[in-house]
Amino acid sequence: MIVVLKPNLTKKQEAAVLREIRKLGYRPHVMRGVARTVIGAIGDEQTHHTLETLTAWPQVESVMPVQKRFKLTSREAHQPNSQVKVGKNVVIGGDRFHVMAGPCSVESEKQIIDTAKAVKAAGATVLRGGAFKPRTSPYEFQGLGEKGLKLLAKARKETGLPIITELLSENHAEMVAEYADILQIGARNAQNFQLLIAAAKTGKPVLLKRGLSMKVEEWLLAGEYVLANENPNLMFCERGIRTFETYTRNTLDLSTIPIVKKESHCPIVIDPSQGCGRADLVMNLCKGAAAMGADALLIEVHPNPAEAWSDGAQQLTLDNFKQLMDELPPFVAASGRTMA
């Protein structure tokens, strides 16, 4: 770490800071500059006690970390791209581009099976569908629960598509893992570390959405909770951050595609449906994400969005989805991949 001292300290005041730095396990290195004295504290920031508490000292103006705080998710820790195997035949993070599609919520057998067949026919390789829904209001539809999971399993049986569904509660981890091929951690739970640990321990692939106001570093650190619990099958999913803009529900930060590729070895998936909250923008955002090198898309598709039990405004119709899949290949090809 770098410790910047306030101007005009006495020798004694400065010595006290140096003593504390040594006590916390670092070797201090003093540089006297024009306007400030700066101390380089040499030592491993990931294993030693943090020096940031020094900012509580009256002698100290600021403390700046030098090292990145994430380890296992970092590209330095693992040079090649990680590939996550989903179900029997799907590999996310390789040279094939995947599309995960399905309704926001599972509503009925007919709804999920019709959707599954349609998205498969159009080229999707994973089926999404929510059985447990985190809703801003307790008076909104909360999902069908285990019944929804059973319907997803039925849809998988009929179509062969592996399924991704959200895990909401530590107490459901085993149950959901029994049915799902990928456990999705939603944006509102992205720093619910107990849930991340529970998900990791099932051994199933985990898709970690970015929290609404999560910095990239915090997101990679949350992923660290999965890898550190011995589950290497982690994917990051950008789904828009909260900003001042109200035209879109969230602001989809597509720059996370090159950023995650640069900083981490884990796959990056883009969710444009949550990302903008408007079906009329989804198609365009999918093309951008594919062109920029995302490993996969996660798209909400519903046979009749206007009657959907949740988030109707952002779900594509089956026809919209087919059109999207027809138009996507040149964008995928431009990024050097092929459609799965």
Taking Cα atoms as reference points, which of 45, 46, 65, 70 lies closest to residue 259? 70
Closer CB to a copy of itself, residue 11 or residue 23? 23
The single-letter DSSP state of residue 306 is: G
The answer to the question of residue 15 lying near a copy of itself (CB under 8 A) is no
Per CB under 8 A, does 175 bind a copy of itself? no
Q: Which of 9, 153, 175, 281 binds a copy of itself (CB under 8 A)?
A: 281
> Would you tell me how many other CB atoms lie within 10 Å of the CB of residue 334?
13
Give the residue among 253, 318, 256 at the shortest CA–CA distance from 285.
253
Burial of 231 (0-12, 13-18, 19+ CB in 10 A): buried
Bridge-based pairing of strands 96-102 and 90-92 is unpaired
Interface region with a copy of itself, contact rule CB under 8 A, candidates 69-77, 87-95, 114-122, 152-160: 69-77
Which residue among 15, 19, 22, 29 contacts a copy of itself (CB under 8 A)? 29
Q: Looking at 109, 174, 307, 319, which residue binds a copy of itself (CB under 8 A)?
A: 307
State both tokens at 227: 């890898």
Which listed residue (15, 19, 42, 338) binds a copy of itself by CB under 8 A?
A: 42
Q: Which residue has the tokens 């990239």?
A: 216
Q: Amino acid identity, residue 42? A: I
Number of residues that bind a copy of itself (CB under 8 A): 109
Applying the rule CB under 8 A, the residues between 191 and 220 that interact with a copy of itself are: 191-195, 211-213, 215-218
Among 9, 91, 175, 259, binds a copy of itself (CB under 8 A): 259
To the nearest whole angstrom, how small is the minimum distance from the Cβ of residue 99 to a copy of itself?
16
Return the amino acid letter for 278: R
For residue 138, state whether it binds a copy of itself (rule: CB under 8 A).
Answer: yes
Contact set for a copy of itself, span 96-125 (CB under 8 A)? none
Q: Does 77 bind a copy of itself (CB under 8 A)?
A: no
Whose Cβ is closer to a copy of itself: residue 30's or residue 158's? 30
Measured CA to CA, the distance from residue 316 to residue 319 in angstroms comes to 8
Q: Does 183 bind a copy of itself (CB under 8 A)?
A: no
Is residue 2 a contact point for a copy of itself (CB under 8 A)?
A: yes
- Give the span between the Cα atoms of 229 and 201, in whole angstroms: 7
CA angle 303, 323, 212 (to 5 degrees): 70
